[in-house]
Amino acid sequence: MFSLQGKTAVVTGGGSGIGKAIAELFAQQGSQVVVADLNAAAAEETVKTIEAGSGRGLPVAVNVGDQAGLKSAINDVISRVGRIHILVNSAGVSHIGRLDTTSESDFDRIVQVNIKGVYNAMQSVIGHMKEQGGGVILNVASVAATLGLSDRFAYSMSKGAVVSMTLSVAKDYITDHIRCNCISPARVHTAFVDGFLARNYPGQENEMFEKLSKTQPIGRMGQPIEIASLALYLCSDEAAFVTGSDYPIDGGFVRLNT
């Protein structure tokens, strides 16, 4: 079960965090993985890890917010590998702030990556998937898309847009045999979290880590591999009957926080 043998997957943001975990797990399950990331060195490092496990990976340095550059990169990948069966949109940036503390430049940066980046990637592959008779798109949203979280105005807005785009694409291309879903994690322990704590709470990292962990009723943050495992299911043939859905993976954050 959950084999991706013979399939090619593009994972944006595959150089770190959740995207890296997804890329590595997909490769373990037999997929050839195109690791697309703004950080060329990080993309190459993920591919090295994949190849060390006897998997197949291809690093691609690209800015998802640059439509022309991304389309060119996707077309180059198609010319090299033939087909793209799976697209995972994991590239994203965060922002902390309320409406009155979110500058125009902050807002534009979030839109450029978290909204336009997802739009650009999906638009780059949708024609190809139609021509080949189908495909799978998985977007990484967040519990922030559907909950009111403090100090997450722009970030929450962007993830709400990801959920909406997911539903639209699932509806519009269902007869083309293209499935589109999204997953909405709560807090996941990545290097980003560690960096955030070090910058904002120097000397209090452990205390704040515990505090953030306990906001999930399950009592801890998620691990990237746990998010990757759900992504694997949704992109596999075992999920052939699943489209147009948003899956919380949140340690009970959405339903059990009262």
| Consecutive H or E run containing 49 | helix 40-52
At 181-203, the pLDDT tens digits run 999 999 999 988 898 889 888 99
Report residue 147 as tokens.
Answer: 């909950």
Q: Which amino acid is at 223?
A: Q
3-state secondary structure of 151: coil
At 83-95, the pLDDT tens digits run 999 999 999 999 9
Listed as own residue / partner, the contacts of 92-96 with beta carbons closer than 8 Å and 24 or more positions apart are 92/13, 92/117, 92/140, 92/158, 94/155, 94/192, 94/196, 95/152, 95/154, 95/155, 96/151, 96/152, 96/155
User: What is residue 199's predicted lDDT score, i.e. its pLDDT?
Assistant: 87
Going by pLDDT thresholds of 50, 70 and 90, the confidence category of residue 257 is confident
In order of their start, the domains of the chain are 8-186+223-246 (3.40.50.720), 188-221 (no CATH)
Q: Hey, how many other C-beta atoms are within 10 angstroms of the C-beta on 172? A: 12
- Could you tell me how far CA 56 lies from the centroid of its own chain? 20
Contact indicator for 194, 151 with CB cutoff of 8 Å: no
User: What is residue 35's predicted lDDT score, i.e. its pLDDT?
Assistant: 98
Name the DSSP class of 142: -
Nearest-angstrom CA–CA distance, 223 and 108: 29
User: What is residue 187's predicted lDDT score, i.e. its pLDDT?
Assistant: 94
Rounded to a whole number of angstroms, the CA Rg of the chain reads 18
At 39-82, the pLDDT tens digits run 999 999 999 999 999 999 999 999 999 999 999 999 999 999 99
Contact indicator for 231, 136 with CB cutoff of 8 Å: no
Q: What is the mean pLDDT of residues 196-215?
A: 91
| Mean pLDDT value across the chain | 96
Going by pLDDT thresholds of 50, 70 and 90, the confidence category of residue 258 is low
At 140-192, the pLDDT tens digits run 999 999 998 999 999 999 999 999 999 999 999 999 999 999 999 999 999 88
User: What is residue 139's predicted lDDT score, i.e. its pLDDT?
Assistant: 98
Report residue 244 as tokens.
Answer: 């147009």
pTM of the predicted model over 0.85: yes
Q: Is the pLDDT of residue 109 over 90?
A: yes
Nearest-angstrom CA–CA distance, 82 and 85: 10
Active site amino acids: 155
Nearest-angstrom CA–CA distance, 165 and 180: 9
Please report how many Cα atoms fall inside a 13 Å half-sphere around the Cα of residue 210, on the Cβ side.
Answer: 3
Q: Which amino acid is at 221?
A: M
